[in-house]
Structure 1
Amino acid sequence: MAYQRRVLDDELDLLLGVLPAVAIDGAKAVGKTSTAQERARSVVQLDMRAVREAVSADPSAILVRQRPLLIDEWQKAPDVWDVVRRAVDEDRSPGQFLFTGSASPQPGATAHTGAGRITRLRMRPLAFTERGLIAPTVSLERLLSGAGEPVEGHSELGLVDYVAEIMASGFPGLRGLPDRLLRGELDSYLHNAVDRDIPDQGLAVRKPAVLLDWLRAYAAASSGTASYTEILDASTAGLTDKPARSTTTAYRDALMQLWLLDPLPAWAPLGQEFTRLGQTPSHHLADPALAARLLGLTRQSLLDGGGTPLGPQEGTLLGRLFESLVTLSVRVLAQRAEAEVTHLRTRNGDHEVDLMVSDPSGQVLAIEVKLSGSISDRDVRHLNWLTNTYRGRILDRIVINTGPIAYRRADGIAVVPLALLGP
């Protein structure tokens, strides 16, 4: 099959045109290797035992291979990182090396971070615009310009289609699979993480079922700010022999190293306008399809309001997982625009903004996510509060929803169906 370009490809082409080495990080199956192979003349596949043993015996031998050289799953033989770092110190020619990694290496596994020599990019599962369902008409990058860009476009997709995309997964290799096979692949992905990937990170999982229960509780907290204590309590309800907090913290850290958890940090602006902001991240798995599978949800049960969300936010699990899909998509687009994505919630929960997309100067594109085809004044009250509080620093305000039409309201707030949002 022909390679389908990703949003990250433009960024990668730009960097490889001027830099000697780029590392692509991200969870397994997001498409890192396929993207890197498009640019490589030779490949070292370190997930193959025989190759890994040979490279570990003499890491510097990789330098005789043709370049651009792709070093796939480099964290399995981390000495190659320092070999490349020294090589680019001697030769700064652009586009020589590509790394891909599905896990962060253990602390101390490399002698140097690579800062200044090896630039790192994050790859996530497919953003909605990358799934090829409809051509986008609204550019996130232009919204970030603060010029009040016209917003227009029509989408034929509705709620049922968005539910289908939550369930279908953004892992490229799983797209188009029959439902039963897709469920099996998602189950295998989760069990392999628990049974193989976490032990590869040096952590023994003595009770895999306990870890899977913790992941289920985390999935129920998707797009919410439940404390880790609440997640632990929900995952061990009814157990007399509860795991120690240190054990579940170690599990959480290992899942973070695998990029299986993708929490969204809390917004922390400079200045005195905000003194009561919460600092808890909002919780997201790498792909909302994993959350749906952990919770045993189906398309119909989501549409019927099934499942019980965890955390202080109101709403249904469908609303939470739609927000997670939007968050994934906005993060992919924002990275290309060199913007940072966070969320805002005051400590007492009286105000919250789902996504705060900040440019390097600290100005903000504020985004609310609504599982609705139409938007009321009540739906934009937090955006109006933010505008009045953070005067002069708001680039634009938008509501991302499931409706058919992109437009600007009379108050200037843009309403954009997720399907129409692109780079």
Structure 2
Amino acid sequence: MIERQLAPTLRRLAKSFPVLAITGPRQSGKTTLARHLFPDKPYVSLEDPTERAFAVEDPRGFLSRFTQGAIFDEAQRWPDLFSYLQGMVDEDRSPGRFVLTGSQQFGLMAGVTQSLAGRVAMCRLLPLSAAEMAGVGNGQSALDDVLWRGAYPALNIGSPTEPVDWFASYITTYLERDVRQVLQVQDLATFQRFVRLCAGRTGQLLNLSALASEAGITHTTARAWLSVLESSDVLFLLTPYHRNFGKRLVKSPKLYFVDTGLACWLLGIRHSEQLSLHPARGALFENWVVSEFLKRRTNLGQAPDLHFWRDNNGLEADLVYETGTGLLQTVEIKSGQTPTSDYVRAGQRSASMAADEACIPLLIYGGDMSALRNGVQLLSWRMLARKD
């Protein structure tokens, strides 16, 4: 069992809130982490039909076994749980009493907002970060292998499964379980084609109308399907930074996958060697870097607050976020191994839009050297594995 970076956040929140809720994509390690951090709590999987039937038929009898607390896995499978927990927590607000996990963020959120508002701390566990990967001995892997394999625990810990086999099963399970439960999609082939088309737009501005047209579905359906993919932590949208600095800005979000391994599989990349000449390699590397920043924030229990910036003249920063000092940190992302002068100029331009409000710009690239060059901090992709 490796130490997940979310663990200190969960321990801290367990001292203040009576209920902890851990969301995230399927197979990101939520159950393993919850049972590791709270080994003394009874564990109940609401995927178990026997337990779920007991809960539905005799809810009070079911919960009477857990007056001191418990871990309820896949809590959204029994929606009435949240209302019953509200009463139990109001009678005894001992911190860290109940732990809920669920891979359908929308299912958990509906129950929390209706019944447990103010009583629950929400946390999000994504696949392994670069620092966690280094902790299991994968810190020296080649970049293409990191992008292709992805960061799900099953592919990196113990006796790893082959990504080609694992992702095929993962997609089938996701489609059959989550999508049918939530959207009641009849034509799964069309939905799978929609997901593949999303993978082909990794790192691009989202044009929902064009995406819907290519998938052969309505704009409304495309929006609903995209919402499910977001809520299930399959993909996420990076929104443009809201300040215009006197420029006309692009207002569409950019589309990224939570895990580059899944994006690679959807793109038909079956071996890491295919990536070296693949036209999507640069976009996948950008996706990987952005997702690492997202993981760092969520593991600290912080709101993501990550953005990009682009004006109508093409001036852009791949990633923008506000620092604690009120300045803006811009990040330019390049997949090449050699930091050329063009890279440095791109880094300089990324910070020019904010002028005196910008920090020293970062340029994260696919090589191994880190140095300050002409006012731009070059940072090797391997530096994202640092724990600080």
Q: Sort the TM-score into its range (normalised by shorter chain).
A: 0.7 to 0.9
Partner of 1:105: 107
Residues 198 and 255 of structure 1 are in contact (CA less than 8 Å); yes or no, is this contact kept in structure 2? no
Give deviations 1:77-103, integer Å, cap 9, x for gaps.
122123223333333322111111100
Distance in 1 separating the partners of 2:165 and 2:251: 37
SS of equivalent to 1:98:
strand
Residues 34 and 71 of structure 2 are in contact (CA less than 8 Å); yes or no, is this contact kept in structure 1? yes
Alignment size in residue pairs? 380
Residues 225 and 283 of structure 1 are in contact (CA less than 8 Å); yes or no, is this contact kept in structure 2? yes
Partner of 1:188: 169
Compared CA separation, residues 63 and 111, structure 1 to 2 (3 A) = farther
Compared CA separation, residues 49 and 398, structure 1 to 2 (3 A) = same
Give the number of the structure whose residues are more often helix, by fraction.
Answer: 2
Partner of 1:223: 203
Give the one of 274, 277, 280 matched to 1:301. Answer: 274
Instruction: Report the alpha carbon displacement of residue 246 of structure 1 after superposing the two structures with TM.
Output: 2.5
Partner of 2:6: 8
Partner of 2:79: 78
Instruction: Report the alpha carbon displacement of residue 177 of structure 1 after superposing the two structures with TM.
Output: 8.7
Give deviations 1:250-304, integer Å, cap 9, x for gaps.
22222223222222222224xx625422222211222111111111113222112
Compared CA separation, residues 384 and 365, structure 1 to 2 (3 A) = same
45-54 or 226-235, larger mean C-alpha shift: 226-235
Give the one of 259, 263, 278 matched to 1:287. Answer: 259
Superposed counterparts of 1:252-331, under 5 Å: 252-269=226-243, 273-297=245-269, 298-305=271-278, 316-331=279-294
Superposed counterparts of 1:164-175, under 5 Å: 164-175=145-156
**Residues 1:213 and 2:186 are matched in the alignment:** no
Residues 128 and 418 of structure 1 are in contact (CA less than 8 Å); yes or no, is this contact kept in structure 2? no
Give the one of 122, 125, 142 matched to 1:123. Answer: 125
Partner of 1:33: 31
Distance in 2 separating the partners of 1:344 and 1:42: 44
59-68 or 242-251, larger mean C-alpha shift: 59-68
Compared CA separation, residues 402 and 117, structure 1 to 2 (3 A) = same
Residues 236 and 258 of structure 2 are in contact (CA less than 8 Å); yes or no, is this contact kept in structure 1? yes
Distance in 1 separating the partners of 2:83 and 2:110: 12
Partner of 2:223: 249
Indicate the RMSD between aligned Cα atoms, in angstroms: 2.8
60-69 or 120-129, larger mean C-alpha shift: 60-69
Distance in 1 separating the partners of 2:64 and 2:247: 53
Partner of 1:234: 214
Q: TM-score, normalized by length of structure 1?
A: 0.81
Instruction: Report the alpha carbon displacement of residue 418 of structure 1 after superposing the two structures with TM.
Output: 1.9
Residues 102 and 108 of structure 2 are in contact (CA less than 8 Å); yes or no, is this contact kept in structure 1? no
Residues 370 and 399 of structure 1 are in contact (CA less than 8 Å); yes or no, is this contact kept in structure 2? yes
SS of equivalent to 1:232:
helix
Residues 321 and 330 of structure 2 are in contact (CA less than 8 Å); yes or no, is this contact kept in structure 1? yes
Distance in 2 separating the partners of 1:57 and 1:168: 44
SS of equivalent to 2:361:
strand
Compared CA separation, residues 398 and 108, structure 1 to 2 (3 A) = closer
Give the one of 343, 368, 375 matched to 1:404. Answer: 368
Aligned residue type for 1:47: E
324-333 or 171-180, larger mean C-alpha shift: 171-180
SS of equivalent to 2:318:
strand
Compared CA separation, residues 111 and 222, structure 1 to 2 (3 A) = closer
SS of equivalent to 1:372:
coil
Residues 235 and 256 of structure 2 are in contact (CA less than 8 Å); yes or no, is this contact kept in structure 1? yes
Compared CA separation, residues 213 and 342, structure 1 to 2 (3 A) = same
Residues 201 and 255 of structure 2 are in contact (CA less than 8 Å); yes or no, is this contact kept in structure 1? yes
Distance in 2 separating the partners of 1:330 and 1:78: 33
Give deviations 1:308-331, integer Å, cap 9, x for gaps.
xxxxxxxx3011111111112111
Aligned residue type for 1:284: Y
Aligned residue type for 1:207: D
Give unmatched runs, 5+ long, in structure 1: 137-154, 236-241, 306-315
Instruction: Report the alpha carbon displacement of residue 30 of structure 1 after superposing the two structures with TM.
Output: 0.6
Compared CA separation, residues 417 and 111, structure 1 to 2 (3 A) = closer
Give deviations 1:38-76, integer Å, cap 9, x for gaps.
123211211111111212234444354264521111111
Give deviations 1:344-381, integer Å, cap 9, x for gaps.
23242512211223346753322111112232343244
Distance in 2 separating the partners of 1:371 and 1:408: 18
Instruction: Report the alpha carbon displacement of residue 212 of structure 1 after superposing the two structures with TM.
Output: 1.1
Aligned residue type for 1:17: K
Aligned residue type for 2:308: L
Residues 368 and 381 of structure 2 are in contact (CA less than 8 Å); yes or no, is this contact kept in structure 1? no
Partner of 2:91: 90
Q: Quote the sequence identity (%).
A: 23
